[in-house]
Amino acid sequence: MMKPRILATSLSITLLLWTSATADARDGRLVLLPGGSAASLGRGGTGVSDTGINSFFLNPASIAPAERFEMFLGHGSIGGDYNNTGFAAAFPSSYGAFGISFNSISTPSRTGALRTARYLSIGGAKEFTDRLSVGATLDMLHGTTPDGPGHFIGAGLGARYATGFSFALAKGFGIFDPSFGVAGRAGIPLGSEKKTSDIDTASAGYDFTFYRGARHSIVFLNEIAADAKAGGYPVKFGLESWLFDSYALRAGCTVPGAYGHNALSLGAGWRISRSEFDARLDYSLGYHRSEGLSHFLGLTLNYGALDRDPPSITISPAETHISPNYDGRRDYVIFKTSVRDASRISGWRLQILNPDGGVVREYRLSDRDMGERLTPYSFIKKIALRKESTVVPESVLWDGTDARGRLVPDGRYRYSFIVWDERDNISAARTGVVHVDITSPSVELTVEDRLFSPNGDRKKDILTIVQQVVTAPDDEWTAGFRDAAGNTVKYFRWNGTEVPRKVVWDGKTDDGGEAPEGLYSYFTECTDRAGNSAIKSIGEITLTRRYETADATASRRYFSPALHRELTWMLSLSSISGLEAWKLSIENADRKIVREFSGGSALDRLVQWNG
């Protein structure tokens, strides 16, 4: 219900303004000078450095930042004899903003003065950089006098520069967001009354906020003009204060009052704002000692949704652990991004931060980064260029190096991704963690005896393998025993904190059965989350459960080295399969070894002893 009421109120005020415009000049009490607005006139006619449709006549560059459709309607008079009704509108587009203004003027019939005039201005403006806006217009005037017609055709050019500078003093006072503006209009007067229709003008000025509070702000404006009609260089001063962002109070003066009106001025404004609709009603009261009081009433309408929402973004790494050691496995991470926004994207940034929060690598692109030097050629080229969104790549690759191309140390690194649009809406940072790990896990294996016999006789019933590992807590380890055919009969799995120092095998398989006799091998391997790996194995492990016998028989029961040259021992084994070593020991009556014979996997069947 609120929006229809606002529209009905706006239409009623508009009808009132147009009705006033057609009233008898002597009955009028409101004034609009060509292109002026109540907001501008209430602060001394200033506005060459301001933005918005209310300043379009003063400076065509004022409409460059327009985000939505803007329209202005106004009417006013000086002493009831001079009447002026005006209309202006701005239309934003991807090429910039287009503007149009029209004024219908009527004055008392005096020789050498315009009796009626119709003034039309058509133009456009564009933001050439994030601070500089430029606009231009084609201006035409058709007027009549008691002595004949007067015409004017010309062009206007204006520029506005926002410094982006702010300097705070104390208690809300300072110099905040100063901007500068310059504009001029020149053309050719035509017809029999050329002097009357000459509306050449030039002006330059600045403004800044000198007080900024939570609910209150005050702006100071100052400019100087050169006007063919004024015949001098009037200097304008203005103040504008906003309360609660809804109520405006204005004051201004022009020194000297060369325009014959508005030497001193006061103004007020009231603004109502909704999500897609703004309406502002402005009034100004001017005074000049020769012309008396002047009045002006204006209505400004803005329609369209304003983008105040930050871009919607996502980012996800294809890997959370990388090992940039150029082995072809997880040497880099690819970040996948997506961005959505109602406005043009102006820039993005992806930072890689070390554990201390320092930036080790940054990827970014913004309009400011791409800002080329503004030459005459680039200026002309930009006039016809559309505003394009800054491209945010769908994939960004980080290879584990810093800004100088050096490999970063192992550790936990945080990434932070933000995007902002042309309205300076900045997304919340999307963050996450990527681990850099180029240190491979390692393992060393040792075993005392590769032969074991799990038959319950308490002799070599188990096989023990000693492991020495270097690992991280989240590493995954696998190990097991394989038979001669490569089948894993016993399997183990641990994380980095669970790897045992000793692996004991009792000859049982994973399902609890007895592994067949034969040759086996033990393996252990690890691949960490960054792709680094370690592999070790021990082979020739013999599993047997049979009872083997060994026998040594002497060639003589009694032996004397003086009578016999040597004694022969005959050795035998029930099986030599899997034999690794053998030893024959000869002891005396005190069970002390007096001689030993030994060998490897080949058994000597006969051993000679000379006593």
Q: Report the C-alpha gap between 126 and 605 in whole angstroms.
A: 106
pLDDT greater than 80 at residue 545? yes
pLDDT, one tens digit per residue, over 481-499 is 999 999 999 999 999 999 9
Which of 516, 543, 570 terminates a domain? The answer is: 543
Cα dist from 276 to 132, 279, 343, whole Å: 27, 10, 15
pLDDT greater than 60 at residue 26? no
Contacts 24+ apart (CB under 8 A), 360-365: 360/402, 360/403, 360/408, 360/413, 361/398, 361/401, 361/402, 361/403, 362/403, 363/396, 365/390, 365/391, 365/392
Number of domains in the chain: 4
Find out whether 193 and 17 touch, Cβ atoms under 8 Å: no
Q: Are residues 83 and 138 in the same domain?
A: yes
Q: Are residues 156 and 177 in the same domain?
A: yes
Which of 272, 303, 334 terminates a domain? The answer is: 303
pLDDT higher at 1 or 446: 446
CATH number of the domain that residue 369 is part of = 2.60.40.2550
Q: Are residues 386 and 361 in the same domain?
A: yes
Q: Are residues 218 and 134 in the same domain?
A: yes
Mean pLDDT, rounded, for 509-530:
93
pLDDT at 6: 39
pLDDT at 223: 94
pLDDT greater than 70 at residue 382? no
CATH number of the domain that residue 516 is part of = 2.60.40.1930
pLDDT greater than 90 at residue 414? yes
CATH number of the domain that residue 31 is part of = 2.40.160.60
Confidence grade of residue 287 (pLDDT, cut at 50, 70, 90): confident
pLDDT higher at 343 or 206: 206
Confidence grade of residue 20 (pLDDT, cut at 50, 70, 90): very low
Q: What b-and-e string marks burial along 489-503, b requiring 16 or more CB atoms within 10 Å of the CB?
A: bbebebebeebeeeb
Q: Are residues 263 and 332 in the same domain?
A: no
Find out whether 547 and 533 touch, Cβ atoms under 8 Å: no
Cα–Cα–Cα angle for 306, 308, 311, rounded to 5 degrees = 120
pLDDT at 372: 52
Q: Are residues 446 and 519 in the same domain?
A: yes
Q: Are residues 537 and 579 in the same domain?
A: no
Residue 332's CB: how many other CB atoms inside 10 A?
Answer: 15
pLDDT, one tens digit per residue, over 290-315 is 777 888 999 999 998 888 889 999 99
Among 174-178, 368-372, 556-560, which is the least confidently predicted range? 368-372
Task: Return the structure tokens found at 56.
Answer: 């379009």
Q: Are residues 257 and 370 in the same domain?
A: no
Q: Report the C-alpha gap between 61 and 97 in whole angstroms.
A: 9
Which of 525, 543, 561 terminates a domain? The answer is: 543
Confidence grade of residue 513 (pLDDT, cut at 50, 70, 90): very high
Q: Are residues 53 and 125 in the same domain?
A: yes
pLDDT, one tens digit per residue, over 299-357 is 999 998 888 889 999 999 999 999 998 888 899 999 999 999 988 898 999 999 999 99
Q: Are residues 377 and 470 in the same domain?
A: no
pLDDT higher at 547 or 181: 181
pLDDT at 379: 64
pLDDT greater than 50 at residue 421? yes
pLDDT greater than 60 at residue 189? yes
- The strand pairing partners of 316, in sequence order, are 336
The residue range of the domain holding 596 is 550-609
pLDDT greater than 80 at residue 78? no
Q: Are residues 604 and 488 in the same domain?
A: no
pLDDT greater than 80 at residue 19? no
Q: Report the C-alpha gap between 195 and 317 in whole angstroms.
A: 72
Among 51-60, 215-224, 601-610, which is the least confidently predicted range? 601-610
Q: Report cis status (omega within 30 of 0) of the bond before 256.
A: yes
Q: Are residues 382 and 471 in the same domain?
A: no
